[in-house]
Chains A and B, each alone.
Chain A
Amino acid sequence: MAKFQWLHQKTEHGPLSQLWDSFRQQHAAVVGLMLFGFFSLIALFGPLLTPYDPYLQNPDALLLPPSWDDLGDVRYLLGTDDLGRDQLSRLIKGASYTFGIALVTAIGALLFGLLLGVLAGMSKGFRASAFNHVLDLALTIPSLLLAIIIVAILGPGLVNTIWAIMLALLPQFVHGIRNTILQQLEQEYVIAYRLDGANNWQILRYVILPNTWEQLTVLFSMALSTAILDIAALGFLGLGAQAPAAEWGLMVADALDLIYLSPWSIALPGLLIFIAVLSVNLVSDGLRTAVRKRQEN
């Protein structure tokens, strides 16, 4: 027989709590979220946490292996690079470069994407189809090509490549948001609002946007993982962060020359990039299944 429950009423039934419930059940996603939080903290407070100044060169401690290695030195937990700079502090500083700036780029792309997506979604007739088709196709220029062009015009540098990556992330956002808006417009409650005399702006503000934030979080998490990979790749190619900067991709490129002498100086930054992107992807997968489950029942 069904249990007799008088008191235990689920207090809050809002989509947010349902989403959090189904998200919480996926343990992998929760681990991903913890890692994501860990990296964001390091990105924010990194510069304060580093044991040494990431650019301080110590000539008598060149290419020390990590401390667990027998010739390692406990003062330099993860060893030093070939200029005697402490690897651990450079990796922490790198978090604010690779992870932090990827976060900023993804947020920027989210805002621009939202703007363009809404414009594409709401406008009708020829303007709509022309606008979003051109947008879709013109913006599918590969991110590396965009970066090369921007570096050719403005010269290499982390800030220039942020523009390139933001432009490259736009199509994903615009495409996703436009589809969600078009889906929303077909729902009955939008027609109901319109019957009540609401103009486009009110419908957008009160009806459509509250319903798209779920899709936005999924798109944002996917865009963030691409942004991290792109920033690291551009750093590796020498188009993004420049020489003394402690960006992870650049650290892999610098360590490439010492691939035989100190394989760990390549392994560590690469591993961190991999774990950062993995955490973001875990969160994004968890979100996507949670959203799909919420929409199912």
Chain B
Amino acid sequence: MLLLDIRNLTLELETSQGLIRAVDRVSLSLREGEIRGLVGESGSGKSLIAKAIVGVLNQRWRIKADRFHWCGVDLLQLPFDQQRKIIGRDIAMIYQEPSKCLDPTALIAEQLHESIPNQLLKGGWWNRARQKRKKAIALLHKVGIKEHQSVLESYPYQLSEGVCQKVMIAMAIAKNPKLLIADEPTTALEASTQAQLFRLISSLNQLKGMSVLLISNELDSIARYTHRLSVLYCGQLVESGETARLLAQPFHPYTDALIKSVPEFQPDLAPKSQLYALPGSIPTLQHLPVGCRLGPRCPNARKECVHTPALERKQHHFYSCHFPLQYKEPQ
């Protein structure tokens, strides 16, 4: 069953210099139990999409989409608080700096108890507090925190980023949501905890069947853990499809460049050789190029690229480029 179905999502922001279209006709779909990756360099609008889904964008943003379905319900038409109720029940989100997402003046126990909804508790309301404490301890164990007592009684500033992220995940899965959105969960963590975290997310996905939208800019971790992948550049969806096939045979030059820039994917890289990188840099939001936004930096850009390419489809593999790379023999 299709959980999330977004067609042509456009996010615009009025600024003093006029209207900026940060996200330009992006489509995204997510099935139950699937881990989808969302890759793109910083400023490509991937966090914006996540926030749009959860509905925490502030009033200045204008959201337009042909279709914005969650479990068959069109969220855009719903009144604000009803929309908030559904999202609150089904979608959970974790952010980049976990320590900032925890209230510095409240104990972890308190924040954890807050996030456990009352409906899930069995038993009467009078021993709700005891039940919450029991459930909180269970949650901490589930996310891999052994000495729960010391964590519960401490303040956020006393915990490391890794533990904070685990607490955030515990809070997220407290209401066993259908979808967990992880917005660059591992940027603030060091390598060992990163791997630990990804294993935790994928185990939760398999055990509880919770689908995950993993947003990151490190291609190698994405490649290992996600089933399907979407690549974004400056707010435009350039390519999406099964991760394995996409990595094996990218159609869009930007995806190809991304893959080449990751050393792990180039087994036969000669020592001291120049790492591949696209020429130029990401344009700022105020000065976005017309048409295909990779235009000026694209190695095989041509005249037609001035018109934004439509999203073409090859079985489950979507790409939006006038001159895809399919002629190259697969590596």
A residues engaging B (CB < 8 A)? 1-5
With A1-B288, A2-B20, A2-B290 already in contact, 10 other A-B pairs whose C-beta atoms are closer than 8 Å: A1-B21, A1-B290, A2-B18, A2-B21, A2-B286, A2-B287, A2-B288, A3-B18, A4-B290, A5-B287
B residues engaging A (CB < 8 A)? 18, 20-21, 286-288, 290
List 9 contacting pairs A-B, 8 Å CB cutoff, sorted by A: A1-B21, A1-B288, A2-B20, A2-B21, A2-B286, A2-B288, A2-B290, A4-B290, A5-B287
B290 proximity list for chain A (CB < 8 A): 1-2, 4
A5 proximity list for chain B (CB < 8 A): 287
A1 proximity list for chain B (CB < 8 A): 21, 288, 290
CB of A219, distance to nearest CB on chain B (Å):
27
Interface of A is mostly: loop
B286 proximity list for chain A (CB < 8 A): 2
B21 proximity list for chain A (CB < 8 A): 1-2
| Closest chain A residue to B308, Cβ basis | A1
How far apart sit A82 and B290, CA to CA, in the bound complex (Å)? Answer: 77
How far apart sit A5 and B286, CA to CA, in the bound complex (Å)? Answer: 9
Which residue, A1, A2, A3, A5, has most C-beta atoms of chain B within 10 A?
A2
How far apart sit A2 and B22, CA to CA, in the bound complex (Å)? Answer: 10
CB of A65, distance to nearest CB on chain B (Å):
51
| Closest chain A residue to B286, Cβ basis | A2
B20 proximity list for chain A (CB < 8 A): 2
| Closest chain A residue to B290, Cβ basis | A1
How far apart sit A5 and B287, CA to CA, in the bound complex (Å)? Answer: 8
How far apart sit A5 and B288, CA to CA, in the bound complex (Å)? Answer: 11
Report, nearest first, the 5 A-B pairs whose CB atoms are least far apart.
A2-B288, A1-B290, A3-B18, A2-B287, A2-B286
How far apart sit A250 and B119, CA to CA, in the bound complex (Å)? Answer: 69
How far apart sit A2 and B291, CA to CA, in the bound complex (Å)? Answer: 10
CB of A9, distance to nearest CB on chain B (Å):
10
How far apart sit A2 and B20, CA to CA, in the bound complex (Å)? Answer: 7
| Closest chain B residue to A22, Cβ basis | B16
